[in-house]
Structures are given as structure tokens and as C-alpha cells.
Chains A and B, each alone.
Chain A
Amino acid sequence: MAPNAMIGSPIKRREDPRLITGHATYTDDMTPAGTVYLHMVRSPHGHANIKSINVDAAHKIPGVLAIFTGDEMKKEVGPLAAVSVGGHPIPDHFSIASGKVRCLGEIVAAVVADSRYHARDAAELVEVDYEPLPAIIDMEKAYKGESGLVHDSIPNNLAATLEFGNDVTDAFKNAEIVVEQRYVNQRMAPNPIENRVVLAQFRTGDESLLITTSTQIPHILRTLLSGVLSIPEHLIRVVAPEVGGGFGCKLNIYAEEVIACYAAKKLGKPVKWTETRSEGMVATIHGRDQIDYIRIAATKDGMITGLDITAYCNMGAYLQLLSSSIPVLCGVICNGAYAMPAVHFKALCIYTNTTPTDAYRGAGRPEATYMIERLVTLLAHRLGMDPMELRRKNFIKDFPYASPLGLMFDSGNYATAMDKAMEIFGYDEMRKMQADALKEGRYIGIGQSTYVEVCGLGPGQGMTTARGYECATIRAELTGKVTVFTGISPHGQGQETSFAQIVADNFGIPMEDVIIKHGDTENTPYGMGTYGSRGTAVGGGALMLAVDSIKEKAKKIAAFQLEANAEDIVFEDGKFSVSGTPSRSITFQEVCLKAYVDPKMAPVIEPGLEATRYFEPGNFVFPFGTHLCATEIDADTGDVKILKYIAVDDCGNQINPMLVAGQVHGGLTQGIAQALFEEVVYDENGQLISGTLMDYTVPTASELPFYTLDHTTTPSPSNPLGVKGIGEAGTIASTPCVVNAVVDALRPFNIDDIQMPLRPEKLWKIIHQGTQNGNGHGAAQSVVQQHFGDDNK
């Protein structure tokens, strides 16, 4: 492929050959000589006092080297780190529980042995005497204080209260119509295909620690581990090798990482912990789990005048790194793509005896998008308007738009994307088909989601506790090859490909001459990592700045070599030439060589051709689009079939459309799966009902429709590439789209809501038993009214 033609080309991922031929090296593929193995003893109770722990029998298993308990470890190692939003308290969360367990699967002891078999056998012989306590599972009850306390020091189990927006009192007082709902955004398990794995090596002698771990944030983790373990940061090296997906759940500091480091230091041996899939269901953070009371005020002709939300956000038993930050990402975007003068969002962050929740693909924006997209459709229904027309009326049209929630929407073109999606979908014909089908007793529904999300974390001033930048080092090598060290930590996003495209195009060199390095704190500059759809939007910005710096110095070298002024040097097609005299030129590769070897430049130009740059954007980015789908409900069984799914997304300029499509496909799949399949279910004792993949439904291709993708292009003004994140958009948009379609199909049964996931039985009950008995319906109207009281009557 010719240089300068790579940006925008659907180039196959360079990562794939090693992945699909089994040559990738994940953490678990590494077993240094002398490696010993860690196995955790975990709580079988949701809530219990630990009366005693007896490890005598476990020690008798051959090969057991150590058994650690919480009381012992907390003398030397601090609690896990978590971010406090606005200063709320963070209860101690030690890597190994001490005195009390607060959720199923919490670690009560850690066994190290010479093999995985001995470690697990010994773990089974650790005798823990528990005094079970009533588990606190229902977060609304937990908040009312009806079921006891998770942390004795935290009244009402209220971890934090977060509030955004302005006063909505008048908006609701003067509203011509108010629609209220209670929406449940169920708990999800991220389930990356690679479970979490940690390998810790401590070098006695120089007292340094090497930790290889399946993480999205090697640099941040290094800093956090340093604090928790009291080991100076410069003596710690974190390596994220091949990482098999994360979806936000590897954006954390985990107990197992700390315990592995502690054990490695104690024993002077490499210590490895490999999570099992069942273990991951309780030991890795969960996502979502939010109950929203939402009301919208509007005029009779469909202009939205106010929005008011109280969100109950289930934190689980402890705060993990960003547990209480997720509701922030929900609150700031809860107005969706709609301009409205009054919006108020309040989040009540509640502790329960469940696995902590944290970032899961979309992290806050799916919750926001779900409720606004569901409610706007319901408002249209109440007003007898078409849901697309009501949306069109209320779209933000003038950019930049300062929302009452504090965001500055920098760009957008919502109606254009909607028109395109409706045309591809055949909206009017589909509506006609729906009506015809109903006459035959077939239930077809049309759902929509005209989402906007906020990502590319983030602008320094938009963050809560740390600056939001990214960085890149470009080193043009002596031979004209280019090595890039990026601060992001891709784990499936494909930047080894897309960043190489960008660099190759900019330097006019073959893509094969560029390599992208990431995930090792020893050779990459301090970056924030990969999450929040920021890799290309922010990391790509840093890359472009470094490109500029390299070009700048290269021009000086070229000027020296061509005996011209640097201002007169132009760079085109991989050649530096003197403006107006193209025959006087020098190639990029020649410049690289001269940079390192030419003694004549010694007095004038510093050797080398390398640049490190940081990019801190001035704003977030705001991808948007319209998704439309048609579903048919099998009236006999309640099974949902997606007949058609159209996604028109706008992520600005596309570096590699094939990567974009891949991200959208994966995102759609996870979002649709939330609508239809996935749910973490606890019983009232805090036991997990959906504890394995036999019951927790991660869909396969056979459960999913064909996706029709298209796009519009509205470049972001907030970064040099004009790009916007696309990693989460599919997940954010698709969940309400599918639920709207199913609710639309079952409108003849006079329902407004069905609680996710839309298991066939719930729909069957609606069809066969009417709206009164089905347990899968949304909340009774009385519950919602009780919440809002007489406020808007």
C-alpha cells in the first residue's frame, strides 16, 4: 500500500496472526524457574464474622510453603486504593479479610504451594469458623437501614451522595405532561476471555519487584502498588503483556495482585495466581446494578422542559478503584442528545454484601442512555407522537452546547445520523409491516436509540482526582525504522495497527517499518492506560504531537544536509526537500541515519531523533448515532428474535474502518446481551445463583442477528486526529434500542416496561397472563409515585 493512504484504510490487525495461531504470550504463559502458586480461600458466605481460622491441616499437604491470613498481612500491607469522589470516606478494604467477610468470595486466606494442585488441596483444608450474619442484598432496603449495616461506621449504607444539574422544581410544576418510571439496570459480570492472572517476582538484593499482570493500567497500578506495599515506585516494574480483554474490569488494583507481590517478597520466589472462571464470577468486579427513578417534564407538543433522576447505585461490599466514580459518568450525560433547560441528577451510592461494582464497558453512560432513551420513547407514546419525531424536536442542534450538567458538547449532527439510519432501516415500511403483522397476531416491535456519549477521558479539568492526559515516545531509529512507545495499554482495541498506520502515513514510510510498544512501565512514558474509549482520542493526540516534534527536528537535520534553511524545508511522500527545488531532497531514512552518525552535525544539532510528548485534551469527545432494530416475539414461548439491527455511528474520522466495525460489533453484542441475556443474580443470603457460564448467559453468534453498520463523520474539534472513541458506543446504544423494540412489540398488552434481561418467560407471562401477574414487569406505578410523592402533581 502506498504511503499516505493508510489512514482510513481497513487494514487487517497486525495483532491477529500471533493471537489466532496461539503464539501470543499472556501472563499465564510465563512460568519462570521456581514459580510457586497461589490459591485463595474465599468466603462461602455473603456476610459473616470470622471467629477463627485454623491452618494446621492445610500445612500438612506436601509442597505448601505459606498460608497468609488477614490479621497477619495487614500489619505490613495497607488497604487497597480507591478514588473518593468529593471526599466521601473509604472504608478499609484489606486484600485478605480480617474479622469479617462482607461478600461471597472475599479472600480469607491465601495458600502458596509448589503446584496449583497442592495449593488448592491445601486451601480446601483451611478451616474457617464463621458466624453467618444476615446478608444485605437489596440496596433500596439497605439505604432505608432496614437490613443492617455492611460497614459499622457508615450509616444507611450510604457510601456517597453525588448531585449534578440545576433546579427542576419549576419545570415540573409548570409541565403540561410528566412521565415517571423506575428502571433497573441489572448487575453484569464483565467476563473477558482471559481471566485475571498475576505473576509477581521479587529480586532480593536490589529489592525490586516485577509484576506481570493482566491489567489495563500498568502505570497507575505501579503507583498504587507502591503505596499499598510500601515499596518505592521506582523499584517496581509493571508489565501488561498480551491482555485478553478487559471491558473495564482490569482497570483496578486487586487484592490478588497485592497478595502475589507480598507472597513473592516473603518467599523470594516467583508467585503466580491464575483466576478460574467460576472464581472470576465473584472475585472480579461487576458492572451496572443501578435502580433509577426518573421523571421527565414536557409540553403537550413534545418539547422536553425538565428531567429529574434519583439513582440508587450498588457499590457492593467495598469501593474498588472507581466504584463511586461510575455514577458521575452516568450523571453528567443523563440528558442524552436532548437540549433541556432543567436537569437534576442525584446518585445514592449504597453498600451491600455483594461483589464490588466498578467500570464495565460504557461505565455510567449505558445507565444514562438506557433511562433517557427508554423514557423519551415512552413520552412519545404518551403524547401519541412518533418516537423519532419527538427526538428530532429535542435534539441539541447548536454546538458547542453547555448542558446544565456541566458538559460542553463540542460537536454533533444528530438528525443527519438519524435520517441515515431511518433510511437504511426503511422506517416507514417497517412500521407498516409491524401493523400488518399485528393483524395476524404477530408481535413485531421497532426500537430506537439516538444516543450520545462522552468519552476520551479526559480533559484535566474534567477529571476528579488526576489529570487526564496521554503520552507517546517516538524513536526514529538509525536505520529509518520507527519504534513507538505509548502510554495507553491496548488489550484488543488494535492500536498496534492503527497507530502504525498513523505514524507510517505521517513519515511516508511503510507500515512494516513501524512498531508500537505498550504495557511495560520500564520502557513507556507514564500513561493513564486504556479505558473510557480514550486510546485513540487521547493517546492518538499524544502520538500526533510526538510526530510533529520528530518532523520538526528532522527538518533541521534535512536543512543542514541540504544546506538550506529549516523554514524552507518541505516534507512530502517521505522526502524532505527544499521548497521550490524538489530535486534537492533527502529521504526520511537518510535523515534518521544522519541524526545518529553524521559527525559534521556535532557542533550544531544534538544527536538522535526521538521525542516524548504529552497530550491533555481541552474537552471530552462526544460520539453519537442512531440505532434502530426490529424484534419479533414468539407468542408461544416469549422468545425474542431480532429481525433487523441498523447502527449508524459517528466516531469522527476513522483511522481504520475495520477496527471500528470490530469495536461496534463487540459493543453491540455486549449491549444486546444486557438487554436479553446477561444478569448476575444473588439470592437473599448473598449466594450467587448465576455462578457459572451454564447460567450466566454470554451469547454466542447463534443468539445474535446480522448487524448492518454505517456511519456519519463529524470530526471532533478536541484532538489533532478529529477522532472520537468507538469502543463503548455500541454497548451504550444497543441496550435501550432492543428493549424499546420489545416493549413496542408488546404494546398491545398495555405495558410500559419490562425488566432486563428480557428472558422469554417474562414476555410469555405478559402475553399469556396480561399485565397484572408477570413478575418480569417494571415496577408498579405506585412504587414510582411513592418515590416522587406529590412533587409534580
Chain B
Amino acid sequence: MIPSAFDYYTPASLDEALQLLAEHGDDAKVLAGGHSLIPAMRLRLAQPEKIIDISGLRQSLSYIKEENGVIKIGAMTTHYQIESSDLLKSKAPILPEAAGVIGDVQVRNWGTVGGSLVHADPSSDLPAVAMALGAELVLQSTRGERVEKIDNFFTGILETSIEPDELLTEIRIPTPTGKKTSYQKLANKASHYSVVGAAAVVGMDGGKISDVKVAFSGLAEMPMRFESLEKALIGQAGDDASLNTACAGFASGVDALEDLHGSQEYRRAMAEVYAKRAIKAAISNN
């Protein structure tokens, strides 16, 4: 990699990292797993003046635990750690399922959940999954700590509500006890990012869908849910006929992404297909 010149900081503690962010946040990029930032720097699409490498926090910020019905995942936890976590496999299997389809083994060994969320690539898998799970994000700075709901976190392509001096330290997910879940995606065959992916978290009551969240990756500028879709799904049995009706047309007005791998029209249609596939897979899954 031949990037442009930058100053390089390696904080050894969270306090030190937050201090550096307070000082340099406007000119700095945080380097975690590096799988989004480094390619951008390599192409000089990103030319940050300062890099704050938080690999020194890997020890303290990579963990997966459950406390009082809330799953807590440290921001430096790698995709592979999520993919292989026994706790998640039993309590929130959609996370290992989705983490397992990110990139390839090398990417999963380096990429972090915090990096993926903060980078906010609309075609990444975990942001949509976190959204379907109703995650909350713990953002820390020298000014203190705040907790952001994921529905308010993403603001555009590669844009979030995180402040320049803030660091994402933890992802909190209400344990989806009793929920049926699945993440299904149509992968871009070049990059293995999603052309369209759907994360479904479904509650069933008496054979009918009683509550549901479906979040989409790859479809639009940020991961998104559709109120009309989720409303239409309530009370359905989840068979083909009912899903066809409930999933018809919800994405028709969305300002979809467009590239070599799919036009807007195709992405909208695939959103319907993958909503159905994710819900069907969820219902038959757990």
C-alpha cells in the first residue's frame, strides 16, 4: 500500500484513544480491522491526515456476553469471533449466520463489528442485521457516554450520527428470545458484498407472525426497514401465498442503489424476493 502521508497514533487504552479523538477527531480516522479504510487509502480515495490505530484496544473491546437479557458485543470483536461464538449461535444465531457470509476467511479474521457499523457501507451485512435486531450502540468520548438506537444511527452512504470525537465501544442487542431469524443475501460475485440482503427477526404466536423486523442491506443508501412491509406481515401464517401478498410492492418507491450488479428496478424486485426468503428461512430455521 502506498497511501499519502499521515500521522499515526497507537493508543494503548480507551482513555488515551478518546483523548486523541478529542484532540484530532476532525482530521483523524480510526483504524480497527482496516478492511474498509485501508483499501480506500490504498486508492487514495481516503487521505486522512491522522490515523488512530485502536488495535491496542483489541483485548478490552473484543467480547461477547449476555447480561440481563441483553447481548453485549465489544466493538473490536471480529466477524470470525461472531461467526464462531457458541453464545450467539444459541441466543442470536442470525449474527453468526450473517458474519459467516462476509467476504472470506481473511476478511472475517480482521474485520470488526464496530468497524463495519461505523463505516456504514450500505452493502455490508452486519448493519442490516443489527437493525433487524434493534441494536443499541454505545458511543464514548471524553464528554461522556451516550447510547444511540440503530434506527437513528445511519444517515447516508458511509455516514452516521457518530461525532468526530466519539468511539463506538459496544453493541447491545436485546436477546431475541423465542424469535425466529435469518439473513439471506444475493451476493455481488466480485466483492461478496450484498446486492440485496434481508435480515428477518420474526415473532410467531399461534402459527401467525406476531411481531417482525426486516432490514435490508445493499438496497439503498443505508440499511433500512419498511413499516408497510412489517405491518402487512403481522398476522400472516408465513406460507408462500401470504408472503407473496404481504411482500408485494413495499420497495417500489425506494431510491435504490444502482451499479453493474443490479439496477434500481432489479434491487427493488430482489428486496421482495429476499424478504420472502429471509422470513421463510427464519420460520423454518429455529
Contact = CB atoms under 8 A, between A and B. Distances in A.
B45 to A, nearest CB: 10
A699 B189 contact: yes
Given A117-B5, A637-B270, A681 B260 contact: yes
Nearest to A115: B2
B189 A636 contact: no
Nearest to B43: A278
Interface string A627-638: 000000000110
B260 A690 contact: yes
Contact of A116 (B2, B4, B190, B261): B2
A689 B5 contact: no
Contacts of A278: 43
A283 to B, nearest CB: 15
Given A681-B260, A761-B266, A697 B2 contact: no
Q: How large is the interface on A (under 10, 10 to 19, 20 to 34, 35 or more residues)?
A: 20 to 34
A693 B190 contact: yes
A677 interface: yes
B191 interface: yes
Nearest to A697: B190
Contact of B262 (A681, A689, A761, A768): A761
A696 B193 CA distance: 13
A760 interface: yes
Contacts of B270: 637
Nearest to B104: A700
A117 B47 CA distance: 13
A162 interface: no
A163 interface: no
B190 A695 contact: yes
Given A636-B273, A637-B270, A764-B269, A698 B4 contact: no
A698 B190 contact: yes
Interface string A669-704: 000000001010100000001101111111110010
B205 interface: no
Interface string A754-793: 0000011100110010000000000000000000000000
Q: Pick the most buried of B4, B5, B104, B190: most chain A CB atoms within 10 A of its CB.
A: B190
Interface residues of B, number: 22
Nearest to A116: B2
A466 to B, nearest CB: 39
B260 A703 contact: no
A120 interface: yes
A696 B188 CA distance: 10
A488 B147 CA distance: 65
A639 interface: yes
Nearest to A700: B104
B interface, over-half SS = loop
Contacts of A703: 189
Contacts of A639: 186
Nearest to A638: B266
B60 interface: no
A78 B27 CA distance: 47
Nearest to B193: A694
A696 B260 CA distance: 9
Interface string B163-199: 0000000000000000000000010111101000000
Interface string A101-130: 000000000000000110011001000000
A interface, over-half SS = loop
B109 interface: no
Nearest to A761: B266
Interface in B1-40: 2, 4-5
Interface string B79-106: 0000000000000000000000000100
B190 A117 contact: no
Contacts of A679: 260
A583 B190 CA distance: 66
Interface in A711-756: none
B5 A694 contact: no
B228 interface: no
A759 B261 contact: yes
B259 interface: yes
Contacts of B259: 695
B263 interface: yes
Nearest to B259: A695
A697 B189 contact: yes
B221 to A, nearest CB: 17
A677 B189 contact: yes
B186 A637 contact: yes
A278 B40 CA distance: 12
Contact of A696 (B190, B266, B269): B190
Nearest to B273: A636
Contacts of A124: 4, 44
A428 B5 CA distance: 65
Contacts of B104: 700
A760 B189 CA distance: 10
Contacts of A637: 186, 270, 273
A761 B2 contact: no
A357 to B, nearest CB: 20
A110 to B, nearest CB: 16
Contacts of A697: 189-190
A692 B260 CA distance: 12
Contacts of A276: 2, 42
A289 B185 CA distance: 32
A768 B186 CA distance: 18
A679 B259 CA distance: 14
Interface string B262-275: 11001001100100
B98 to A, nearest CB: 16
A200 B231 CA distance: 68
A528 B192 CA distance: 40
A752 B97 CA distance: 40
Contacts of A690: 260
Q: Pick the most buried of B186, B262, B266, B270: most chain A CB atoms within 10 A of its CB.
A: B266
B219 to A, nearest CB: 14
B43 A694 contact: no
Return the 9 tightest CB-CB contacts between A and B, nearest first: A697-B190, A694-B191, A761-B266, A636-B273, A697-B189, A120-B2, A116-B2, A695-B260, A703-B189
Given A121-B4, A278-B43, A764-B266, 12 more contacts: A121-B5, A681-B260, A690-B260, A694-B190, A694-B193, A695-B260, A698-B190, A699-B189, A703-B189, A759-B261, A761-B263, A764-B269
